[in-house]
Amino acid sequence: MGNVIPWSQIHPTVKSEAPFVSVLIIDPTRQLCVSEQIPLDQEVLVHPDVAASETIAAAQQAAARVASMYRERLKQPPPGLASAGRPRMATPDQTSPRFRVLKGGLRPAR
């Protein structure tokens, strides 16, 4: 496969010890990151004939929730604009959101 990244590097706040499906929408222009996690039953994953359909169902459920949250966030003004359309001044206690792109999991081109 070659596309495995340790989950703790993807998002350090994820503390789950059980398997889950996660869907993530990243919109760099609006500085949005919306995600949803759906837990998976470990017993179901043992049986190959059931695992695929359960994983697909969890991904569809997560995608539907994320799409709904994303549409709601699009209705709000971008985080860097005040209500009058002017840039908002940051206060010292605010931290800017950060998204880290990790290299890895990709096979080098031959």
Q: Is the pLDDT of residue 92 over 60?
A: no
pTM of the model: 0.55
- Under the banding of pLDDT at 50, 70 and 90, the label for residue 93 is very low
**Whether the Cβ atoms of residue 59 and residue 35 lie closer than 8 Å to each other:** no
Q: How many domains does the chain have?
A: 1
72 falls within a domain: yes
Helix (H/G/I), strand (E/B), else coil: 7: helix
Confidence of residue 69 (pLDDT cuts 50, 70, 90): confident
* Sign of the CA dihedral with 12 first, then 4, 109, and 33 last: negative
Q: What burial class does residue 75 get, using C-beta atoms within 10 Å of its C-beta: 0-12 exposed, 13-18 middle, 19+ buried?
A: exposed
Please check whether residue 109 lies inside any domain of the structure: no
In a domain, 16, yes or no: no
Has residue 48 been placed in a domain? yes
pLDDT digits 0-9 by tens, 20-54? 888 888 787 777 778 888 888 888 888 888 898 99
CA distance 3 to 62: 21
**88 within some domain:** no
For residues 50 and 99, what is the distance between their CA atoms, to the nearest angstrom?
Answer: 34
3-state secondary structure string across 68-90: HHHHHHHCCCCCCECCCCCECCC
Please check whether residue 52 lies inside any domain of the structure.
yes
Q: Which pLDDT value is given to residue 35?
A: 81
**Domain of residue 60, residue span:** 38-78
Residue 67 lies in a domain: yes
Numbers of helices and strands, H then E, in the chain: 3, 2
| Residue 103 resides in a domain | no
33 DSSP 8-state letter: E
